[in-house]
Amino acid sequence: MHKPTPILLAIAQPGGSTLTSLDWLAIAFYFGILLCVAWWVVSRRKDTAADYFLAGRNLGWWVIGASIFASNIGSEHIVGLAGSGAKDGVALAQYELHAWCLLVLAWVFVPFYMRSMVFTMPEFLERRFSTNSRYVLSISSLLTFIVSKIAVGIFAGGVVFGTLLPELQLNVGPVHLDSFWIGSVLVIVLTGLYTMLGGMRAVAYNDAVQVVVLITGSALLTIYGLVRLGGWHELKALCGSDMFNLWKPLVPAGQVATWAPVKELDAAGSVVKQAWYFNGNFPWLGMAICAPVIGLWYWCTDQYIVQRALGAPNEKVARQGSIFAAFLKLFPVYLFIIPGLICYALAKSGKIPALTEAFNQPNGAQGAFPLLVQHLLPPGLRGIVVAGLLSALMGSLAGVFNACSTLFTVDIYEKLRPKASQHELVRMGRIATGVMVVIAMAWIPVVKGAHGLYNYLQSVQGYLAPPIFVVFFFGVFWKRLNAQGCLWAMIVGFVVGVFRMLVDTPCTLNPDFHYREGSLFWIVNNINFQYFSILITIISAVVMVGVSYLTSPPDELQIKGLTFATASAEDKARTRASWGAKEVVASLVVLVFIVGAYLYFRG
């Protein structure tokens, strides 16, 4: 008789994980609540594309706002932002203070999206330009989701498990899986199940539950950390003014970067070398131009985010949900970046030896958030925060799974099989999700080799986002631009972006790999990713405008209602009737908080 392959699953023993029985009970209770919510959603589902992909277009404003926030605040934020705060300070809060981009979605793009009643962003692009543009955007968006959001989400799940349950192991014959890979696979399986079963409705309602726990738990973690440290003033004293300075670009010791090219200085402060190619930091020129481009692409044109607003019953609810999400987006600076700073300060002060030891390890700062959870919170509360953390990772992945299946099914499969039934469309969406998860898992080694989780995410988005930003924003504001200009702008922009990704990949996979200094590949690899993103944006814009004016103008009937210049008086009146004083006041409050944060974090 065949002897079964031995399987060993070892849970951490005392001295490994600090999760107690009370923590596990809290985790089980929390996920029990999520299971009940998912079961309620599945029991109400209809086997139609509108229900599976857009929750039947009947989501409330608070669910839309919470779901947008929860989908954004997933893996790359909880793990990546805290790790960035522990390593680099508040500089990456620049990206988090782009809550104003959600106001652009609410006030500028929601009217166009809700008016056209589209399922996807490529579908909107098809109506504005052409079918070919829709295909290019669909494929490039799927690529972006796989190499950034899905792969990063899986990786972050592994980081959390690796930190909180370091002794978790699985041996299947000669194959050995550590806690990182076990955590990655578990996050995928659990997330995939409720996403495939419940669709967009399950994602949105689970997100709403998750936001409450995540904000509360992260706030308590910040409070416990400040108490243990000795208060806010002690935090600033230990971290130093540079780590509290939004206005100072992040550069290594001995370097300085301003609006001018990056400069390398000698000990006396004299300029030794200056160049635009300096990779691995955040110069002001990049922050001022590249960061808003990525932010506007992400919040206003990315299927992953906008799909929640498309689930609203009307323009008013979609706008209110987007404004509510902008308000929630103000929290990450204080809930994730500040805990990273606290973790760094505690490690530096030596008040928690385990943190000091962890920070002495390579990439030790990357696990700042789960390290604080492990060493600061009391039993029970620790379990709730861990559950919220894992749920956030799952929520972020669930959102992108649903976005992927929507893009593939609506923009590609339904085009190839226009007579497909509603049941067939839903089934293909579920199959597409599974395939993309497998591809993303193969990309995890590239993410593991990157210089920081959040840095990796921003660089990939910086390479792939610019042409999408250009065609959407130019297309809505400039009616003369046509289908040929849009198509070539996306093709050229994506080719340049993918080229940069391919050049970077060998260096990411193998830190010892270097291109010959002065060669073309060396120059491309060493241009700061934000500068390169600006270059792609300029190239895409020039191509779009140039090709459009070299070819015939678009048909006025085709673009009616899809640009500001072609919106009818009735459309404008309907939009004006959909908002009132409370939407305006709420938007102003968001802007005041953003300005206040910029004024405070000056070092």
Which among 598, 200, 175, 104 has a CA at the least distance from the CA of 406? 200
Question: For residue 269, is pLDDT > 60?
Answer: no
CA dist., res. 587 & res. 78, Å (int): 25
**Tell me, what amino acid is at 544?**
M
**Local structure of 245: helix, strand or coil:** strand
268 CB-near residues (< 8 Å, 6+ apart): none
Residue 483 inside a domain? The answer is yes
Residue 169 inside a domain? The answer is yes
Query: What string of H, E and C letters represents the secondary structure of 130-177?
Result: CHHHHHHHHHHHHHHHHHHHHHHHHHHHHHHHHHHCCCCEEEECCEEE
Axis-axis angle for helices 61-72, 381-406 (nearest 10):
100
- How many C-alpha atoms does 348 have within 13 Å on its Cβ side? 17
Query: What string of H, E and C letters represents the secondary structure of 511-543?
Result: CCCCCCCCCHHHHHHHCCHHHHHHHHHHHHHHH
Selected residue with higher pLDDT from 174 and 304:
304
Residue 160 inside a domain? The answer is yes
CA dist., res. 77 & res. 340, Å (int): 11
Instruction: Look at residue 69 in the predicted model and tell me its pLDDT.
Output: 85
CA dist., res. 539 & res. 34, Å (int): 46
CA dist., res. 600 & res. 603, Å (int): 8
pLDDT tens for each residue of 221-246: 888 889 988 888 888 888 877 778 77
Instruction: Look at residue 491 in the predicted model and tell me its pLDDT.
Output: 94
pLDDT tens for each residue of 333-357: 888 888 888 888 888 888 888 888 8
Q: What are the helix (H) ranges across 302-421?
A: 303-310, 315-328, 332, 338-349, 353-359, 368-376, 381-406, 414-416
Residue 50 inside a domain? The answer is no
Instruction: Look at residue 248 in the predicted model and tell me its pLDDT.
Output: 59
Question: For residue 377, is pLDDT > 60?
Answer: yes
| Residue pair 368/86 in contact by the 8 Å Cβ criterion | yes
Q: What share of the chain is helix, strand, coil (3-state, %, to 5)?
A: 70, 5, 25
265 class by beta-carbon count within 10 Å (0-12 exposed, 13-18 middle, 19+ buried) = middle
Instruction: Residue 332: give its domain's CATH number.
Output: 1.20.1730.10
Selected residue with higher pLDDT from 255 and 531:
531
Instruction: Look at residue 567 in the predicted model and tell me its pLDDT.
Output: 83
Question: For residue 495, is pLDDT > 70?
Answer: yes
What's the structural domain count of the chain? 1
Selected residue with higher pLDDT from 359 and 156:
359
What distance separates the 2 farthest-apart alpha carbons in the chain?
80
User: Which residue is associated with the tokens 């000056």?
Assistant: 602
Residue 55 inside a domain? The answer is no
Residue 56 inside a domain? The answer is no
Mean pLDDT of 212-220: 82
CA dist., res. 127 & res. 125, Å (int): 5
Q: Select the highest-mean-pLDDT range: 388-402, 418-432, 434-448.
A: 418-432
Which among 524, 378, 408 has a CA at the least distance from the CA of 463? 524
**Tell me, what amino acid is at 312?**
A
CA dist., res. 418 & res. 12, Å (int): 52
Percent of the chain with pLDDT over 70: 73
Residue 53 inside a domain? The answer is no
Mean pLDDT of 196-215: 70
| Residue pair 557/297 in contact by the 8 Å Cβ criterion | no
Torsion over CA: 370, 372, 375, 376 (sign): negative
| Residue pair 468/143 in contact by the 8 Å Cβ criterion | no
pLDDT tens for each residue of 42-83: 656 555 554 555 444 667 888 888 888 877 776 557 767 787
Q: How far is CA 217 from CA 37, 165, 345, 385, 388, in A?
A: 20, 19, 20, 5, 7
Structure tokens at 356: 């000091």
Of 184-193, 414-423, 534-543, minimum mean pLDDT range: 184-193
Query: What string of H, E and C letters represents the secondary structure of 253-293?
Result: CCEECCCCCEEEECCCCCEEEEECCCCCCECHHHHHHHHHH
Residue 292 inside a domain? The answer is yes
First-to-final CA distance of the chain:
71
Q: Which residue range is the domain that position 371 belongs to?
A: 7-43+61-600
Instruction: Look at residue 104 in the predicted model and tell me its pLDDT.
Output: 94
Structure tokens at 75: 């893996």
φ, ψ dihedrals at 17, nearest 5°? -80, 150
CA dist., res. 449 & res. 438, Å (int): 19
Q: How many CB atoms sit inside 10 A of residue 15's CB?
A: 8
Provide the b/e sequence for 346-363 (b: ≥16 CB within 10 Å). bbebeebeebeebbeeee
Q: How confident is the model at residue 279 (pLDDT cuts 50, 70, 90)?
A: very low
Question: For residue 469, is pLDDT > 90?
Answer: yes
Provide the residue count of the chain: 603
User: Which residue is associated with the tokens 């039993």?
Assistant: 379
Instruction: Look at residue 188 in the predicted model and tell me its pLDDT.
Output: 66
Torsion over CA: 310, 315, 318, 319 (sign): positive
- Laid out side by side, the sheet with 271-275 consists of 255-256, 262-265, 271-275
Q: How confident is the model at residue 500 (pLDDT cuts 50, 70, 90)?
A: very high
Selected residue with higher pLDDT from 56 and 322:
322
Give the H/E segment covering residue 171. Answer: strand 169-172
CA dist., res. 243 & res. 221, Å (int): 20
Backbone Cα Rg of the chain: 24
